[in-house]
């Protein structure tokens, strides 16, 4: 399945725009500020019902407009039209003119992998950025994960609200245990699925990194979680006094993190700019391969402004990798049409260019 046509109405800085795409390489060029990245984000929105950059839908609407609409026609075994509209604080998703009863029913139909300069936060940012990477990966292919993550977050909010309302005073442990009964089964499932995801990701990641970097370093990804240290029920119970004092839940999968390294050294502290960029791109391409291995389909690959951020040799190795037949539809943005043409010229694939 590939995106054949995209229509936008009042989405960010696009009042009204319609674009046709081919099933191979699609380039979007133009000056900074014309909305190239926003088009890629609209494709991500079609697949995931949320922006890659901004989780608040009301802030995605074009200034002074009452709504936005994103519409996509997908070609495949069965042609499919997806329409998502946000108006008056309400989001509506339609598949072939039929409204989905739940958001959950749409997520997972289309997978996207987005590589953007903002991904530097995966290495240099806090643990929340890395948890989001795991969650976005798993939610796109596993409805049970998405449902359990939603249940866990709601139970955590309720438990934290109780702890905060008591302002450090004693709380009946039986009351806390009633919230734990919701956290524990969902947290255990999420922990197991994250652990399996990281293991599978690594099976693709190391070779991709070495190909990109042309280096001999040993890149590592380690999944850190409080649940690696003991039974979740025991960890929660042992933290009751600390939680009452801190007025928040101190253990759980909401404290998970990914630790990136090269050899025995943490990437965040010791990695060069080139090593960090190679690591992030390899991580995203490993995510692509992971999706492909699970779904047996090609995700849509979104490459945002990559030639501005990585050196020419590394960029060409990336293009050579994604240009092979193992990759499906690609949307790529750049400020220079000639630069994109030079990099992609040797690749035998359908190509379509838009200048904005």
pTM for the model stands at: 0.93
> What is the reported pLDDT for 192?
98
Q: Are residues 54 and 9 in the same domain?
A: yes
> What is the reported pLDDT for 309?
67
Q: Are residues 223 and 161 in the same domain?
A: yes
Q: What is the number of domains present in the chain?
A: 2
Q: Are residues 199 and 247 in the same domain?
A: yes
Give the pLDDT confidence of 275-329 residue by residue, as tens digits.
898 899 999 999 999 999 999 999 999 999 887 767 778 888 888 887 765 678 9
> What is the reported pLDDT for 325?
57
Structural domain for 284, as ranges? 120-295
Residue 250 has pLDDT above 90, yes or no: yes
Confidence of residue 186 (pLDDT cuts 50, 70, 90): very high
Question: In the chain, what percentage of residues exceed pLDDT 90?
Answer: 73
- Residue 20 phi/psi, 5-degree rounding, is -100, 145
Read off the CATH number of the domain in which 103 is found: 3.40.50.300
> What is the reported pLDDT for 348?
73
> What is the reported pLDDT for 326?
62
Torsion of CA 59, 190, 124, 114, to 10 degrees: -60
If one compares 85 and 321, the residue with the highest pLDDT of the two is: 85
Confidence of residue 343 (pLDDT cuts 50, 70, 90): confident
If one compares 164 and 310, the residue with the highest pLDDT of the two is: 164
> What is the reported pLDDT for 204?
93
Question: In the chain, what percentage of residues exceed pLDDT 70?
Answer: 99
Q: Are residues 162 and 235 in the same domain?
A: yes
Q: Are residues 25 and 8 in the same domain?
A: yes
Strands 67-75 and 351-355: unpaired
Dig out the tokens for 160 from the structure: 């934290």
> What is the reported pLDDT for 324?
67
Of 275, 295, 315, the domain-final residue: 295
Read off the CATH number of the domain in which 274 is found: 1.20.1050.90
Beta bridge partners of 61: 11
Nearest to 46, CA basis, from 75, 20, 16, 69? 69
Q: Are residues 69 and 6 in the same domain?
A: yes
**3-state secondary structure labels for all residues of the chain:** CEEEEEEEEEECCEEEEEEECCCCEEEEECCCCCCHHHHHHHHHHHHHCCCCCCCCHHHCECCCCCEEEEEEEEECCCCEEEEEEEECCEEEEEECCEECCCHHHCCCCCCEEEECHHHHHHHHCCHHHHHHHHHHHHHCCCHHHHHHHHHHHHHHHHHHHHHHHCCCCCCCHHHHHHHHHHHHHHHHHHHHHHHHHHHHHHHHHHHHHHHHHCCCCCEEEEEECHHHCCCHHHHHHHCHHHHHHHCCCCCCHHHCEEEEEECCEEHHHHCCHHHHHHHHHHHHHHHHHHHHHHHCCCCEEEEECHHHCCCHHHHHHHHHHHCCCCCCCEEEEECCHHHHHHHHCCCCCCEEEEEC
Give the pLDDT confidence of 12-60 residue by residue, as tens digits.
999 999 999 999 899 999 998 999 999 999 999 999 999 999 989 999 9
> What is the reported pLDDT for 253?
98
Q: Are residues 258 and 314 in the same domain?
A: no
The rounded mean pLDDT for the chain is 92
- Average pLDDT of the segment spanning 263-280: 90
Q: Are 17 and 8 in contact (CB under 8 A)?
A: yes
Of 262, 277, 295, the domain-final residue: 295
> How far apart, in whole angstroms, are the C-alpha atoms of residue 153 and residue 1?
32
Beta bridge partners of 330: 25, 301
Give the pLDDT confidence of 112-132 residue by residue, as tens digits.
999 998 899 999 999 999 999
- Give residues with Cβ within 8 angstroms of 12, minimum separation 6: 35, 38, 41, 42, 60, 62, 68
């Amino acid at each position: 399945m590939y995106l054949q046509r995209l229509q936008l109405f009042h989405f960010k800085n696009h009042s009204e725009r319609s674009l046709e795409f081919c099933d191979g390489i699609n380039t979007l060029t133009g000056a900074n500020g014309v909305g190239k990245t926003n088009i890629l984000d609209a494709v991500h929105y079609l697949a995931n019902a949320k922006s890659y950059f901004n989780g608040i839908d009301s802030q995605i609407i074009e200034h002074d407009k009452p709504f936005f609409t994103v519409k996509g026609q997908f070609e495949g075994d069965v042609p499919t039209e997806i329409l998502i509209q946000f108006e008056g604080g309400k989001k509506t998703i339609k598949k072939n003119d039929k409204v989905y009863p739940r958001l959950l029913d749409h997520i997972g139909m289309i997978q996207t992998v987005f590589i953007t300069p903002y991904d530097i936060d995966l290495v240099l940012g806090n643990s929340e950025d890395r948890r989001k990477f795991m969650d976005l990966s798993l939610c796109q292919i596993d409805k049970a994960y998405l449902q359990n993550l939603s249940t866990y977050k709601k139970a955590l909010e309720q438990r934290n609200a109780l702890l905060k309302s008591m302002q450090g005073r004693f709380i009946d442990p039986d009351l806390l245990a009633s919230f734990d009964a919701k956290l524990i089964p969902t947290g255990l499932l999420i922990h197991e699925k994250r652990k399996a995801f990281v293991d599978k990701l690594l099976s693709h990641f190391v070779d991709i990194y070495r190909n990109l970097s042309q280096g001999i370093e040993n890149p590592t990804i380690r999944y850190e979680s409080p649940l690696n240290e003991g039974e979740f029920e025991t960890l929660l119970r042992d933290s009751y006094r600390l939680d009452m004092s801190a007025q928040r839940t101190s253990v759980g999968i909401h404290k998970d993190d990914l630790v990136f390294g090269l050899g025995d050294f943490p990437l965040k502290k010791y990695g060069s700019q080139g090593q960090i960029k190679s690591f992030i791109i390899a991580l995203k391409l490993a995510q692509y391969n992971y999706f492909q291995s699970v779904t047996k389909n090609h995700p849509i690959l979104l490459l945002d402004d990559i030639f501005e951020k990585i050196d020419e040799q590394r960029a060409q190795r990336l293009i050579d990798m994604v240009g092979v037949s193992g990759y499906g539809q690609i949307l790529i943005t750049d400020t220079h049409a000639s630069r994109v043409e030079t990099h992609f010229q040797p690749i035998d694939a359908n190509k379509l260019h838009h200048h904005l």
